[in-house]
């Protein structure tokens, strides 16, 4: 069989905490990205995208995506492993098994795979946001120089 429908009484507190923390970190990461996009859109709409606020937001979002993106995956992996142990562990509960030969001690009993997979995309996205923050910082410098030149030429024209 490749799937099962289960009614679970309750997961252990450790599994619930890790799963909740993983989802909290994922949500916070997406909120940070959304806030940064809103700041950038607002600044572009006002015609002044190269501000200190935009640069700081990009840097902060880079850190958030880099750290949060990796941590949420670790938390969810740990929570899922604990949940599988709670559900399918030998001491997990009573099972009404209609298939002969499949017991919690048999090799056919479901359990966690040996994989502990972490996607590395948050590293690339975090580094890209840091690079974009550097571009915005350079844009700030150019804007300051342009304003200074405008002041210098003001009386000449």
Query: What three-state secondary structure class fits 88?
Result: helix
Res. 42: pLDDT tops 60:
yes
CA atoms of 50 and 136, how far apart (whole Å): 6
* Those residues with Cβ within 8 angstroms of residue 130's Cβ, 6 or more apart along the chain or in another chain: 58, 59, 62
Span 101-143, pLDDT tens digits? 666 667 766 666 667 889 999 999 999 999 999 999 999 999 9
Token pair recorded at residue 65: 């995506």
Phi then psi for 18, rounded to 5 degrees? -65, -40
Residue 57 clears pLDDT 70, i.e. is over it: yes
* Mean per-residue pLDDT, 148-153: 90
Work out the average pLDDT over 74-87. 89
Query: What is the average pLDDT value for the chain, to the nearest integer?
Result: 87
Q: Which two tokens stand for residue 127?
A: 């580094």
């Amino acid at each position: 069989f490749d799937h099962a429908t289960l009614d679970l009484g309750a997961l252990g507190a450790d599994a619930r905490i890790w799963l909740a923390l993983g989802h909290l970190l994922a949500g916070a990461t997406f909120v940070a990205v959304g806030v940064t996009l809103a700041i950038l859109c607002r600044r572009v709409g006002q015609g002044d995208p190269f501000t200190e606020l935009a640069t700081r937001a990009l840097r902060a979002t880079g850190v958030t995506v880099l750290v949060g993106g990796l941590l949420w995956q670790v938390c969810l992996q740990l929570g899922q492993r604990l949940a599988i142990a709670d559900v399918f562990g030998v001491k997990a509960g009573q099972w009404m098994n209609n298939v002969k030969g499949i017991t919690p001690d048999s090799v056919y009993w479901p359990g966690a795979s040996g994989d502990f997979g972490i996607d590395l995309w948050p590293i690339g996205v975090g580094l890209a946001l840091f690079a974009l923050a550097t571009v915005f910082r350079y844009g700030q410098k150019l804007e300051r120089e342009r304003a200074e030149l405008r002041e210098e030429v003001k009386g000449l024209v």
